[in-house]
Structure 1
Amino acid sequence: MQYGGPQRSWEYVVRNALEHHPTPTAAPTRSEADRRADIALDALRERGDVRGLAASLAREHGGSPDVWSRAVNAARRLADPTTCPPPAGGQARMPSYQLRDTTTRQLLAHDLADYAAAEAALDRLDDQLEHDLAANGEGAGRIRLRLDVEKVTACTTEAVGHHVLILGVDDPTDTLAAP
């Protein structure tokens, strides 16, 4: 079926339109942006919201850090739409702190009021792990855990402290022994 003229006329019109108005090749298709956002969301869940995530994804998967930065921002909105943007009224949220296992990137404690609360949570975690090791009869070995203390402010998370817990070793009760 022809619309308004012979087939060659339509081919000529289409060919000229494509020459004078090329399709945008620089802008990725929506499915490509969705694919990048899915990769960024997986990385957010695996590694946490760490500084330099977009640059790291650009190195791993190719492409511009700017493109991956947009993907990370989209993933942040998908992961927790309540954290971005800041609340209405112009008041920023109070920062909170969280504990994360450096090796597995597993979140161990969150919504801690300040750094002192994070250190108290580290102490409780240390005591609980020591208790569990003793209950299972596994207190003889040495286990090292590396933990990050992260500060969460609105849409960003930054590591502000690193702690190493050494389990299975008796904690000194008195550093100055009496003679």
Structure 2
Amino acid sequence: MAHVILGLLLLRPQSLYDLVKNFEAAVSLLYSASSGSIRRALETLLTGGLIEVDEVGPGARGRKTYRVTDAGREEFHSWMTGPMAGPDAEAAALPRLFFLGLLEPDERAEVLARVVARIENDLARLEALGEQIDAAEIPEEFRDVFRFQRTTLDYGLASHRHALAWFRELAERTPAG
């Protein structure tokens, strides 16, 4: 979540309220977060020197607006252009896609290539799992249960194939530098 917040703050300095509204309006389609989790992430980013208070509004409560520091820009860039970690390719790819326009054009192609490679790798693992499962002897009493478990894998395979075709097509349409 910290990288998503950095990306939003790179677009413009924002308050906690603004960030919550941005999560609700757009980011929630690919990443959900509560007000409390956004607040905790802001505190961590502040402590780490990745963001700073840009402005404190008038009044007793003094609404704070945050902005990204140079260290935060470097961290965001490293995350965007670095390896895609985590168990879910979609969860790793979509935030990068959302902020792809913040990178230089020549870097975008590299990020998309990493996304494609990650999806290819995950798809290969699912296909291998499917072959293992299909070769297994399923006892009669579990065949009905197995049928829906296998169908769940089929959904994952179809989803990965669609994502792979979609990201490949986007990579072809995205000019490098």
> TM above 0.5, one fold?
no
Higher normalized strand content (fraction of residues): 1
**Could you state the TM-score of these two structures normalised by the residue count of structure 2?**
0.31
Tell me: higher relative CO, structure 1 or 2? Use CA pairs within 8 A at least 6 residues apart.
Answer: 2
**Could you state the TM-score of these two structures normalised by the residue count of structure 1?**
0.31
